[in-house]
Chains A and B, each alone.
Chain A
Amino acid sequence: MSDVMSRPIPAPAVTLESKPFWDAAAQGRFLVKRCTACSKAHWYPRTICPFCASDATVWEESAGEGEVYTFSIMRRSPTGPYAIGYVTLDEGPRMLTNFVDVEPEALRIGLRVKVRFQPTEGDGPPAPVFAPIAEQ
C-alpha cells in the first residue's frame, strides 16, 4: 500500500439504512444489497429495490472486485492528484469511488481492481476505495 493518488477521506454520513454497510466496513467486510425478488444487486444500498420496488432486499458479502468503468484525475488539489471514478462490480452495479495505489499513467478503463478500506477523518467508519488487483 502506498500514498500514490491517495487523499484524506471525510467521515461518511451514516443513515439508519446504511448503518449495516458501515458496521461491516469497520470489520473489513464489503457488503452489497441484493433483491431476492428480482435477484439484481444494486448500488448505493437501500431498503427498497430500485429495479422492482420489492422490500425483500438483503445484504450480501462481496469480494469487492470489478473493473474501472471510467475515471477522472483531479489535478487541482492541495493534497495532490487523486482519481474519482466508477467501478463496475462483478455483481453488476457501478459505484462511485476513489482509485488508489496506482500511478496516474497506469490507471485505465477496464483495469481490474479490488476494494480496500481507507480510514476516514474523525471517528467515522472506513471508506471503500479500489486498487489494481495485480499490485495488491
Chain B
Amino acid sequence: MSIKGKAYVMGAFEHPTRDAPDKTTAQLHAECAKGALEDAGLSFADVDAYFCAGDAPGFGGLSMIDYMGLRNVRHMDSTETGGSSYLVHVGHAAQAIAAGKCQVALITLAGRPRNGGNRPGASLRPGGGGSGLSDGPPEAGFEHIYGGSTHNTYGMAAMRHMHEFGTTSEQLAWIKVAASHHAQWNDHAYLKDVVTVEDVVNSRMISDPLHLLDCCVVTDGGGAVIVTSPEVARGLDRPRVRLLGAGEAPKGVLGGDIDLTYSGAVWSGPRAFDEAGVTPADIKYASIYDSFTITVLMQLEDLGFCRKGEGGKFVADGNLISGIGKLPFNTDGGGLCNNHPTNRGGMTKIIEAVRQLRGEAHPKVQVPNCDLAVAHGTGGSLGIRHGAATLILEREA
C-alpha cells in the first residue's frame, strides 16, 4: 500500500517567539497546536491522532493529550528521531490515515533551550559511570566520554568531506549567505542581517572546520502541523497540500564501518521520491535541515540534487537564493537564521514548505508557481548516528 495522495497537510503554525522565559514547554506545545488547528479551520475536538517526540513533557503523548484536553484521540505515535521526528510523524500520520485509523492528526514540537528547558532525546553526554554496572545505551561507555557535541560531531563530517572532495569553507559559507538573504524578509527571524561569505569564514572558529556562522541559531518556540484525510481536506477552506511520498532511514556507526561522507538521506530520499513518482529535477522548493552548513550540503548531494562531492560547487554563488539560484531553499531563513526551536529543525522545514506550496511565503522569497516541494531532515548527529526523513509535498490544483 502506498500513502501517495492519501493525506494532506492542512494546518501549519510556527510559534512567533524565539525567547520564552514566561511560558512552560507544555503551554508552548498547546499554543502551537491551537495555531495549526486555527490555520486549518479545525478545533481540538476534531483531532483524533496525536504525534509528538522527546521534546514533549511527560509520558509520551499522554501528558500533552491530557493537558490539551484531547478527548477523541484514537491513534498515538511518539517516534523519536531527534530533530527529524516531525517529518517522520507526517509519514506515519499518512499511513494511519490510509489505514483508516484516524482522520485528523496533530503533530507538535516545542521547547525552551534559552531558558533552562530540558534537552530532549538521546544525550551525547556521559551517564552512568561510577562503580555500578549500567544498563543504559550500549554505545554510551565508548562514545559519551569524548566530549562530543553537535558542533564537533558535525565538524568531523565536514572535515572528512573537505578531505575527500576538496570542499571549502567558502562554499559552505554560501549556504549561510543564502539563508540570511531569506531571513531579512522574516520579521520573526532571530538573525535578520544579510551576511557575506567573508563574514562567515571570518567569524570565530567553534569546532574546526565550522565557524560560528556555520551554526544554526538556538531559539525557544515551536510549531505544529495538521495532517488530514482527503475527505476532511476537501471540507476545509485552505489550499490543499498533498503528501506524495515519505521516506525514513536510520544511520549509525555500522559496527565500525561508518563512512562520514554520506547521510541517511541516501536511503530516505529515494524512498520518498520513488513513492511520489518524481525526481529532484522536478522540485521547485526545498526545505533542507540546516543545523549546520555542512548538513545542507551533504543532504543535497544525498537527495540527488547534485553528484556526491559536488555539493560545494552546487551551493556556491547564490544557487540556493530564491529568485537568483536554481534551487530556492529554506526561504524563512531556516535554522541558520530564522528559528531552530528546542534544537530541532524538522517542524519548521515542513511549515515553510507548506507556506511555499500555498503561495503564502513572503513575496520577496515566494517561488513562482511553486507546486512541488521537498522537506528533509537529519535528527541526531550527522557524525555518529541519526534519523533521516524525507517528504515530497504537492499543491493540489
Contacts and interface: CB of A to CB of B under 8 A. Distances in A.
The answer to whether A and B come from one shared complex is yes
Interface of A: 7, 9-19, 22, 40-46, 49-51, 69-77, 82, 84-86, 89, 92-98, 104, 109, 120, 122-124, 127
Contacts of A40: 255
A45 B204 CA distance: 38
Nearest to A42: B255
Which of A22, A50, A120 has the largest count of B CB atoms less than 10 A from its CB?
Answer: A50
Given A72-B210, A75-B205, A92 B256 contact: yes
A102 B136 CA distance: 33
A10 B126 contact: yes
Contact of B159 (A14, A43, A71, A123): A71
Nearest to A73: B208
24 contacts: A9-B147, A12-B140, A13-B136, A14-B141, A17-B138, A18-B138, A42-B256, A44-B139, A46-B138, A50-B255, A72-B151, A72-B155, A72-B159, A72-B207, A74-B151, A75-B207, A76-B151, A84-B152, A84-B153, A89-B256, A98-B146, A109-B159, A109-B160, A120-B129
A121 B155 CA distance: 26
Contact of A44 (B135, B143, B153): B143
Contact of A96 (B151, B160, B257, B384): B384
B145 A127 contact: yes
Given A76-B151, A93-B257, A18 B207 contact: no
B258 interface: yes
Interface string B352-388: 0000000000000000000000000000000110000
Contact of A13 (B127, B156, B256): B127
Contact of B141 (A12, A41, A104): A12
A15 B133 contact: yes
B147 A7 contact: yes
Interface string B229-261: 000000000000000000000000111111010
B206 interface: yes
A101 to B, nearest CB: 15
B381 to A, nearest CB: 11
